[in-house]
Amino acid sequence: MRYFIDLEFDGTAYSGWQIQPHSPSVQQTLEEALHLFLRENISVTGAGRTDAGVHASQMIAHFDLETPQDCGWMTGKLNGILPPDIAVHSIVPVIPTAHARFDAKARTYKYYVTLRKSAFERGYSWFLPNEPDFGLMNQAARILLVTVDFTSFSKLHTDTKTNDCHVTEAEWSELPDSRWVFTITADRFLRNMVRAIVGTLMEVGRHKLTVDEFARIIESRDRCSAGDSAPAQGLFLHKIVYPDNLFEL
């Protein structure tokens, strides 16, 4: 029986989602917790990787069990074992071929910045002492909607077969308390892509790049021509969408 886990996590203490040789990861922590009460070696597959320090309001992962178990019971057990910075929302059965990564239709990330120094927001947003031009940044962000090849915003030397992505949403919007959020939705994301986009958009907002120069960076297909990656702590994996038929048992 295959199950989807819907969970959230604060990524501050972790090297990212994926298991690392000598650093704690969310995936490893989840697998160890499942093993404690199911007494099986459980392999968990996530919807994607997150970098060290990146958070998730929603992460989806799948795992298999030979003997079906009650989903409410498993959810309660996991939440009782997992540390406070990982919380399981639900566990649901899915069709045997359902895949948390490959079956995702869309993913949404949110990147938060704050214009007001805060002792409490520092772990969940990027503090900007000077306000950038968000209107200009949104002009540049609209170019992402007609972009296909995102090589300029991809981590170098990855094993992906293509750097093509289809972005359907990319916009900065204002929140209360001097905060702004960048929301971006696509069918897939490359490693470090969102943080590289945010860092480069910030160059536009600081008038270090024009909108036309932002477009030329995309056309160059050269990561070295783009801006520095934005800090990890402001980034959240926000939502993952799947076809309804995965849940039709």
**Ordered structural domains, the chain, with CATH:** 2-102 (3.30.70.580), 106-238 (3.30.70.660)
How far apart are alpha carbons 228 and 56 in whole angstroms?
Answer: 22
Q: Is 102 exposed, middle or buried (0-12, 13-18, 19+ CB in 10 A)?
A: exposed
Q: What is the pLDDT of residues 114-173, one digit of tens each?
A: 999 999 999 999 999 999 999 999 999 999 999 999 999 998 766 678 999 999 999 999
Reported pTM: 0.95
Residues 2-38 have pLDDT tens digits of 999 999 999 999 999 999 888 999 999 999 999 999 9
Over residues 51-89, the pLDDT tens digits come to 999 999 999 999 999 999 999 999 999 999 999 999 999
Cα–Cα distance, 3 to 1 (Å, whole number): 7
**Which residues are known catalytic residues?**
51
